[in-house]
Each structure stands twice: as structure tokens, then as C-alpha cells.
Amino acid sequence: SWTMANVVEEQVEAIRAQIGGKRALCALSGGVDSAVAAALVQRAIGDQLTCVYVDHGLMREGETEQIERDFVAVTGADLRVVDAREQFLTALAGVSDPEQKRKIIGREFIRVFEQAATDVVADAAAHGETVEFLVQGTLYPDVVESGGGTGTANIKSHHNVGGLPEDLTFTLVEPLRTLFKDEVREVGLQLGLPGSLVWRQPFPGPGLGIRIVGEVTAERLDILRKADAIARAELSAAGLDREIWQCPVVLLADVRSVGVQGDGRTYGHPVVLRPVSSEDAMTADWTRLPYDVLAKISTRITNEVAEVNRVVLDVTSKPPGTIEWE
Ligand code: XMP
């Protein structure tokens, strides 16, 4: 729209004025906000921006490719993908407690990102350049909630590259600070980002790690990714993806039940569908999905995902249930 074209133009000017000839760094999460923030900064300063994407292996099907391939194709951004999948799996081995999982995933993410940032800074230094800015996709509601402050971010530098100070300090660039979510989506569309990214439903930072009830393993992630991809494809084919706030698909990895599939008796896992309607995720109601859509999802998952022999529907509102199971 005309207004959003103006927002883009104004922001591009403001970003150029702030960053000048220096270099900037941005962590892409796979979500809408960081992608739109990075795309805006890319438009403003081109290859003075380096983006880092930590592939922790907890994303849904196609999401990493969406960043690696589609985001890069549209923006031309210089993207470094760090494959940290093994590191996350190792750190999560044997852990079932949800809060413990969150802590581990958060901690590993910071470690990997700090290392990547150190490398970017060191590479720039080798060319006589400095990376002074860190791009963040902070939205207006986050600004209000945090009291409006802005400023700098410190990260630990990792010492295996010489000549860097112990702490790296970056000035924050937050081009979405005045925008609400729907405006951010419009800016994203304006910048040519794909609808599948721009209209992505909320997805928790710890990703599928908190949608496997039980220990997170590579096999379980594969099972859940397949089931989740089917549910998302069918909801979107039914035109329901934008009506629903979120629909977590949860693998009850430690539960088994008896079934009959194909040649005989199975002893597989259930997955839970958790479609919710909400305004802000503080409260939510379970979405009354059409039976035929539910039937299609159930049939396809049990036909196409060998390890899953039962699909169950969560009909709990929030409160008392939370949206996620962990
Ligand atoms: P709950 O499960 O508390 O979720 O009803 C409310 C909203 O928050 C998301 N969520 C998270 N987001 N890190 C995140 O970034 C987390 O650890 C996390 N846990 C829940 C959830 O998807 C829902 O949108």
C-alpha cells in the first residue's frame, strides 16, 4: 500500500543515516520480524549487512530452506548459515523437562551466535572494517513493554580469533520499533518477501524442541516434522491458516498405543492437534475446525507417517491449558 511504501522509504533513509559506511550484523530467527528488519536494512545498506542464521534443527519442514533460499533470493543478503544441529541434539540428549529444554536451547543459541558474530567481526577487521551495528526486529509492543529504552548490546567474543576485545559492543538498529505486527507484515510484502514467510503463524523460539513431550532426538524431530507439515498443508489448503492463531502439532513421544496399520498390529505414537483462536496468546479458545479438515489431516498423518498411529484433538481453552504443551 501507499502508506507502507512510505514507511519503507523513510526507514531506508533513517537506516542509511544511522549506519553510514559501517557494517551491521543481524541474526535471522526464521520468523517474520527478523526477516523484515533484515530485508529493510539490506535495502538500505546492501552488502554492508551480514545475516547469520543458526540452524538448530528444531525448525519445521521447509523453514530453514525458506531463509536460505527464498529470503536470500529476494533480498540478495549475505547470509551465513551455521549448521548447529548436532550441537543442539547433543546438548538436549536425555532431557525431558520443558524448562530445562528451554534453558539449554537458549544457552546453545547464544553460544553459537556469539561465535558466528565473532567470526563476522574478525573477517571485517581483516579488511580494515568494523561491525558496529546489530539489527533487531523489535516491534512497537515490545518497546512499550520494555519501557522504551534502546541502545547497545554486548556479546562475549570468543578468543580463538586474535585481536578482538573480550566484549563486542554493538549499537542497536531497530527499524520496526514504531510498527505493529500487521504493519510489519505489510512492509514484508512491500519488500517482496514470500507470503508463506510473511503470514507465518507465531512459532516459539525453542521450536519443535518443546513440541516433543519427552526427550528430543533426531528421529522424533523427523516424525514430528512430517506430521506438522501435513497439518499445515491441509489447514492452508482449506484456507484456514490465517483464521487460526496457531496450531501446534505435538508428538507424545513417550506414549504408545496399539493400532492396526497396513499389514498388522502397530505400537505407535499419538500426535496432538492444538488449533487455537486468540487475539494475543494470553487467552485462547480451541478452534472448532471443520470435521472434514480434521479427518483429512488424521488420515494423511496416519497413512504417511509410519510411526504415528493415532491423531487426537486438544479441546482445552487457555486457561486452564496453555497453547503449547510444554
Ligand atoms: P503458552 O504455551 O504459554 O504460549 O500459552 C503463549 C504463546 O507463546 C509462545 N511460546 C513461546 N515463545 N519461546 C517463545 O518464543 C518460548 O519458550 C515459548 N513458549 C510458548 C506460544 O507459541 C504461544 O504463541
- Measure the CA–CA gap between 82 and 70, rounded to whole angstroms: 17
Give 288-311 as a DSSP string.
---HHHHHHHHHHHHHH-TTEEEE
Question: What is the structure's pLDDT at 162?
Answer: 63
pLDDT per position as a tens digit, 107-124? 999 999 999 999 999 999
Q: Taking the chain, what is the end-to-end CA distance rounded to the nearest angstrom? A: 39
Say whether the ipTM exceeds 0.90.
yes
Backbone angles phi, psi at 310, to 5 degrees: -155, 135
208 CA distance to ligand 1 middle (Å): 12
- Residues lining ligand 1, CB < 6 A? 102, 202, 204-206, 246, 281, 318, 322-324
- Measure the CA–CA gap between 215 and 239, rounded to whole angstroms: 34
Query: 69: alpha, beta or left, given left = phi > 0 and alpha = psi -120 to 50?
Result: alpha
- CA distances from residue 304 to 101, 102, 204 in whole angstroms, order as listed: 29, 30, 26
52 CA distance to ligand 1 middle (Å): 23
Is 33 labelled a binding residue?
yes
Beta bridge partners of 249: 273
Mean pLDDT calculated for residue range 71-77: 97
**CATH classification number, 211-313, choose in 3.40.50.300, 3.30.300.10, 3.40.50.2300, 3.40.50.150:** 3.30.300.10
Residue 107 CB coordination number (10 Å): 11
Instruction: Read off the DSSP letter of residue 284.
Output: B
Which three cell numbers mark 13? 533513509
Query: What's the number of CA atoms in the CB half-sphere (13 Å) around residue 289?
Result: 30
Instruction: Encode 286-322: b = buried (16+ Cβ within 10 Å), e = exposed.
Output: bbebeeebbebbbebbbeebebbbbbeebeeebeeee
Q: Where in the chain is the domain with CATH 3.30.300.10?
A: 211-313
Please, what CATH class does the domain formed by 2-197 belong to?
alpha beta
Is 96 labelled a binding residue?
no
- Which pairs from 318-321 meet CB under 8 Å and 24+ separation? 318/276, 318/278, 318/283, 318/284, 318/285, 319/283
pLDDT per position as a tens digit, 18-71? 999 999 999 999 999 999 999 999 999 999 999 999 999 999 999 999 999 999
Of 297, 202, 314, the residue nearest 252 (C-alpha): 314
Atom 18 of ligand 1, residue of closest alpha carbon: 204
Is 35 labelled a binding residue?
yes
Atom 14 of ligand 1, residue of closest alpha carbon: 204
Ligand 1 atom closest to Cα of 325? 2
pTM of the predicted model as reported, rounded to 2 decimal places: 0.95
Is 229 labelled a binding residue?
no
Is 62 labelled a binding residue?
no
pLDDT per position as a tens digit, 157-186? 876 666 788 899 999 999 999 999 999 999
Most ligand 1 atoms within 8 A of CB, residue of 107, 323, 326 to mutate:
323
314 CA distance to ligand 1 middle (Å): 17
pLDDT per position as a tens digit, 177-211? 999 999 999 999 999 999 999 999 999 999 999 99
Q: Where in the chain is the domain with CATH 3.40.50.620?
A: 2-197
- Measure the CA–CA gap between 132 and 14, rounded to whole angstroms: 16
Which three cell numbers mark 57? 534443527
**Percent of the chain whose predicted confidence (pLDDT) is above 70:** 98
